[in-house]
Structure 1
Amino acid sequence: MRRSTLAAMGAGLSLPGYRVESGGVSTMPPGRISHAKGPHTHPDPEIFLILSGTGKIHIDGEISDFAGGDVLIVEAGEDHHLEALSDVVTAWLHVEPA
């Protein structure tokens, strides 16, 4: 996983060689874990823009904190789940090779 912040992105977020395939906005109440049943991976990266709230991201069994303003880039093949500690709002983007 790669981590940055919206503020650090300056002119914008890009992953050379990829384009957005799909995306959306999700809300999670405290205590919710995304994709709680079994492994959850993708063949290409997924980007989470944490718009508000706090939580933990589980990547291949490792756990890290996140907060509003963070940008999380989950690499292809990484098993990932978000865990909300407060109300969390995320924009997520599935990308594919350009």
Structure 2
Amino acid sequence: MRRSTLADMRAGVSLPGFRVASGGVSTLRPGQVSHAHEAHTHVDPEIFLILSGSGKVHINGEISHFSGGDVLIVEAGEDHHLEAVSEVVTTWLHLEPA
């Protein structure tokens, strides 16, 4: 996983060689975990824009903290899910090769 902030990405959030295939906005309530009971991977990268709140991102069994303004880039094949500490609002973007 790569981590940045929206403020660091002055030229915009993108990954060379990929385009957005699908996406959406999700809200997790405190204590809620996305994809909690199963492995969750993709064949292409996924980007999470954390709009508000704080939580933990689980990547291949390792845990890191995140908060509003963070950009999380999950690499292809990484098992991942988010865990909300406070209410978390995130935009998620599934990518595909351009």
How big is the alpha-carbon RMSD for the aligned residues of Structure 1 and Structure 2? 0.4
Structure 1, unpaired ranges of 5+:
none
Structure 1 segments (4+ residues) deviating >6 Å: none
Question: What is residue 20 of structure 1 aligned with on the other side?
Answer: 20
Question: What is residue 73 of structure 1 aligned with on the other side?
Answer: 73
TM-score scaled to structure 2, two decimals? 0.99
Structure 2 residue identity aligned to 1:16: P
Greater shift, 48-57 or 8-17, is seen at 8-17
* Percent sequence identity over aligned pairs: 78
How many residues are matched? 98
TM-score scaled to structure 1, two decimals? 0.99
CA shift at 1:14, angstroms? 1.2
Question: What is residue 49 of structure 1 aligned with on the other side?
Answer: 49
CA shift at 1:31, angstroms? 0.1
Question: What is residue 3 of structure 2 aligned with on the other side?
Answer: 3
1:19 alignment partner, SS class? strand
Structure 2 residue identity aligned to 1:55: G
Structure 2, unpaired ranges of 5+:
none
CA shift at 1:11, angstroms? 1.8
